[in-house]
Structure 1
Amino acid sequence: MADDSSRTRKVRGRKIRSDRSSKAGRRAKKELARTAAANARDRDGDSPLSEPDEVVPELFVETDAVASLRDRITGWLEADQPVHLIGPTGCGKTALALSAAAERGRPVVWLNGDEAVDTAALVGAHAGGERYKEDDRFVGGVSKQTEIVRERWVDNPLSVAVREGATLVYNEFSRSDPSAHNVLLSVFEEGVLERPGKRGEDRTIDVHPEFRAIVTSNDVEYAGVHDQQDALLDRFVGVHVDYYDEETEREIVSSHVDLPEEDVETIVRATRALRDELDVVVGTRAAITAATGITVFDGDEEAIDEGLLTELFTDVLAPKIAGGNGSIEELRASIGETI
């Protein structure tokens, strides 16, 4: 009888050890999964860093004209010069900036300018704090409790870019308040980023030698655009981006919209004529939108009807005259006459 119970206990012991081993394995797998998920969140969610191949626009067209302009940008970046892309709306500045940034093979940080961007939005800020208590029971019978508050600092795009040696692409740079950009002066001139509000020895960051910056802005005055300080603008080189040649514009439209070659040619020719004749900005984006309209409204017509083309471009360009800059009737008449 004793022998039987002994055997039973041994079997039970093996089972317990087996269960504990399985549980430990499952815990290890869960811990690995949690770690992997946390790393993915840090990289893809909270972190502003992107890999170069992730930022290239999907439908980016590369003709000789585009490649030549991009080579100018990357050349200045290699010379350690921040680049300011200046040009009319809808000419492809943003896509060109992202392509040039990706060409460097370094991580890319994206930032979009607007009125809400201040110094903290660029460099970082305190994001709440951590509060916890520690119990000290070193002496028997005596309990000492200490409350500790630790502030949590979160770096924002500029701090991440200068520390990691990334390429900062700052779109619509001139829409942000100029006072927010004072921190850029020491970055470009002294190679140091000051982080106001950060205390301690790590208040400053030494700029990584591979850090570069590309900013974009429009070359005409729009609502919400600010004049930036001369001391900062003097540290950029300005590359003017204009509308591309007709061949490149046809390639761009064809990459976005599935239309016969002759239809694309008609739309691009009309776009370029309207650009010369009208007082509103007629960008390549307008050509893409009009081409999209053709796929919706043209039906089975063999050739694009001039009346339909006039209506389409009127719809596309009408928002530009909203707010008292002319009437829709006048716009339609000018478009019809040009087409």
Structure 2
Amino acid sequence: MYIARERDRPVVWINGDADLTTSDLIGDYAEKEKISEHDKYIHNVLKSKEVVRDRWVDNPLTIAAKEGATLVYNEFSRTKPIANNVLLSVFEEGVLELPGQHGESRYVDVHPEFRAILTSNSVEYAGVHKPQDALLDRLIGIYMDFYDAETEAEILRTHLDEDELSDDRITEIVTLIREFRERLDITVGTRAAIMIGEGVSVVEDPTQAELAEICVDVLTSKVSEYSEVEALHRDIEDTIQETEVSIS
């Protein structure tokens, strides 16, 4: 969102989802429009006509393409690839086709200021579809790794009150999180660091065992079987002991 706002253009947001369809991206006939006509040119004759027709409603992609806005398509790979096919002509030919429309209204010339920012997790994540090569060929990919330690510490400071967690504790939590990434067979993101920080903040001078319990509570959602939870618990305890992290 920061990059999108820096363009000083309108920003349109949409979240990818397995149930998202092409219509959710471009629009559909979603409203009824009623038109009434009355003819009173002859004083003793009243002619009246009412026409009810479907009305097209634009959705985020169409709005952004027409207005030259920045489309932020969050988690685009959670959407099934077939729904994203509509993006191909937008990125390549600068034309958006609106199936269901007729005549000149069927095609939209994409505004020259239109830009799109698509975000996605790796395909290893649950619920993520592998994007079609034709779409990836039209994108410039930027791989975003985890934040550096200093940035992660600053993020924790913005989420946690100084009265709740000192700078020393924040530094220790970030150190521990980065050790988890090296040692554990799960993805440990910055959100996990924030949650661990929140857990630590309510315990006065937590022991290593208490710290391990907090970490297990936060990271258990990453595994699916009880045997894996036990193994995770052992690995977390070992990491805390070997790293000699002290949160007290």
Using structure 2 for the length normalisation, give the TM-score. 0.90
Matches within 5 A, 1:22-61: none
Q: What corresponds to 1:283 in structure 2?
A: 189
- Name structure 2 gaps, 5 residues minimum: 241-248
Runs of 4+ that moved beyond 4 A: none
Q: What corresponds to 1:336 in structure 2?
A: 237
Structure-2 separation of matches of 1:306 and 1:253: 20
Q: What corresponds to 2:53 in structure 1?
A: 150
Q: CA deviation at 1:200?
A: 3.4
Structure-2 separation of matches of 1:305 and 1:100: 42
Structure-1 separation of matches of 2:74 and 2:62: 17
Q: Secondary structure at the match of 2:57?
A: strand
Q: Which residue identity lines up with residue 137 of structure 2 in the other structure?
A: D
Q: Does 1:135 align with 2:38?
A: yes
Q: What corresponds to 1:203 in structure 2?
A: 106
Structure with the higher fraction of residues in helix conformation: 1
Structure-2 separation of matches of 1:183 and 1:327: 42
Q: Does 1:179 align with 2:179?
A: no
Structure-2 separation of matches of 1:106 and 1:151: 31
Q: Does 1:292 align with 2:201?
A: no
Structure-2 separation of matches of 1:101 and 1:325: 43
Cα gap change, 1:326 to 1:203, in 2 (>3 Å): farther
Structure-2 separation of matches of 1:226 and 1:332: 31
Q: Does 1:218 align with 2:121?
A: yes
Q: CA deviation at 1:128?
A: 2.4
Q: Which residue identity lines up with residue 308 of structure 1 in the other structure?
A: E
Structure-2 separation of matches of 1:311 and 1:333: 11
Q: Which residue identity lines up with residue 305 of structure 1 in the other structure?
A: T
Structure-2 separation of matches of 1:200 and 1:158: 20
Q: CA deviation at 1:108?
A: 1.0
Q: CA deviation at 1:238?
A: 0.8
Aligned partner of 1:305 among 197, 204, 207: 207
Structure-2 separation of matches of 1:99 and 1:138: 59
Q: Does 1:317 align with 2:215?
A: no
Structure-2 separation of matches of 1:133 and 1:102: 43
Q: CA deviation at 1:332?
A: 1.1
Structure-2 separation of matches of 1:180 and 1:329: 41
Structure-1 separation of matches of 2:29 and 2:39: 29
Q: Deviations over 1:242-285 (max 9, x none)?
A: 01211111111111112211000111111111111111110111
Q: CA deviation at 1:216?
A: 1.1
Q: CA deviation at 1:202?
A: 2.2
Q: Secondary structure at the match of 2:20?
A: coil
Task: Name the structure, 1 or 2, with higher relative contact order (CA <8 Å, separation 6+).
Answer: 1
Structure-2 separation of matches of 1:201 and 1:325: 60
Q: CA deviation at 1:134?
A: 2.9
Q: Secondary structure at the match of 1:266?
A: helix
Q: Which residue identity lines up with residue 266 of structure 1 in the other structure?
A: E
Q: Does 1:230 align with 2:133?
A: yes
Structure-1 separation of matches of 2:148 and 2:227: 29
Q: Which residue identity lines up with residue 295 of structure 1 in the other structure?
A: S
Q: Deviations over 1:134-170 (max 9, x none)?
A: 3323323333221212321111000111111111111
Structure-2 separation of matches of 1:312 and 1:214: 36
Cα gap change, 1:129 to 1:314, in 2 (>3 Å): same
Identity of aligned residues (%): 54
What is the count of residue pairs matched by the alignment?
A: 237
Q: CA deviation at 1:132?
A: 4.4
User: Is the radius of gyration larger for structure 1 or structure 2?
Assistant: 1
Q: Deviations over 1:204-255 (max 9, x none)?
A: 2111111111111112422322122211110111111001211111111111
